[in-house]
Structure 1
Amino acid sequence: MGNRSPLIALLMVLWFPAATAGMTERVDQNGVIYFGTEQSTQKVVMYGVPNCGYCRQARQYFVAHDIDYVEYNINKSSKRLKEFRRLGGRGTPLILIDGKKIRGFKPQAIEAALK
Structure 2
Amino acid sequence: MLVQFLFIFILAMPALGLAFIGLALSPQHHKMTWLSLWGALVFGLSFFSLHLKYEVLFYGFYSLGPLLFGLGLPLNLTRAKRIQAGLSGLGILIVFCLALLAIARMLNRI
Give me the TM-score of the superposition, normalised by structure 1. Answer: 0.25
Using structure 2 for the length normalisation, give the TM-score.
0.26
Structure number, greater radius of gyration: 1
Higher RCO (CA 8 Å, separation ≥ 6 residues): 2
Larger % of strand: which?
Answer: 1
- Of Structure 1 and Structure 2, the greater helix share is in 2
